[in-house]
Amino acid sequence: MPETRRGRRPGQNDTRRAVLDAARARFAADGFTGTTIRRIATDAGVDAALVMQYFKSKDELFGAVMAVPPDALDRMTDAWPGPAEGIGERVARAFLEVWEADPRTSEPLLAMLRGAAAREAAADQLRDFIEARLMRGAVDHLPDDHDTRLRMAVAAAMLVGIIVARGIVRVPTVADESLDTIAVTAGTALQALLAP
């Protein structure tokens, strides 16, 4: 006689949790860039279309894994539209606001950053994620070539460095300045990278 299953039938919450668990493991193993929705779906034992039903994109799924609201992820990309002059400051301000202004976003991101300092896999994941956010914004404004990817990687390194200096290491001169002042100063340096 076959064994009858007891307890609640697996439902939407169980499936969503399985997808998040699979995504967390896959992002940790393969980094943001190397992870695909299809592989996460396979790991979770579900169809890729179901993953997309729960999470509209890989970015949104990553945000859910990190407990970062989708609107915060959008703010980092939404800084790109507008005149080329001022793009450096807009991007710097958007990143700093996501990392500092709202505890809903800053706490999980800073936790990830602290983990990145201790574990190489977490560092790769964070770097890939920030570069991907910058590339997503740049795609309509710059060619998708090696030079653009290099520029976005350098910009990502600068932004991560500022965030580390302000939120982790707390370099006094940088940490004690207002977000506005840092956005203007960093924006000047980022301008040459983002609008060559």
Q: Can you say whether the dihedral through the CA atoms of 175, 177, 179, 185 is positive or negative? A: negative
Beta carbons of 11 and 25 less than 8 angstroms apart: no
Amino acid letter, 70: P
**pLDDT tens digits for 101-143?**
777 777 777 767 776 666 666 666 777 777 887 888 888 788 8
The amino acid that residue 150 corresponds to is L
- Token code pair at residue 22: 């699979």
pLDDT average, residue stretch 135-155 = 85
Residue whose token pair is 């279309």: 49
CATH 3.40.640.10 fits 66-194, yes or no: no
If you average pLDDT over residues 39-60, what whole number do you get?
91
Instruction: Return the CATH class of domain 12-56.
Output: mainly alpha
pLDDT at 21: 87
Q: Do you know the residue count of the chain?
A: 196
Question: What is the longest distance spanned by two Cα atoms in the chain?
Answer: 74
| Tokens describing residue 109 | 């991101």
Averaged over 21-41, what is the pLDDT?
84
Query: What span, in angstroms and rounded, lies between the C-alpha atoms of 121 and 124?
Result: 5
Integer angstrom CA distances of residue 148 from 35, 63, 153, 166, 193:
22, 24, 9, 27, 8
Whether pTM exceeds 0.95: no
Per-residue model confidence (pLDDT) at position 1:
47
Domain boundaries of the chain, sorted by first residue: 12-56, 66-194
Tens-place pLDDT, residues 67-104: 777 777 778 778 888 888 999 999 999 989 888 877 77
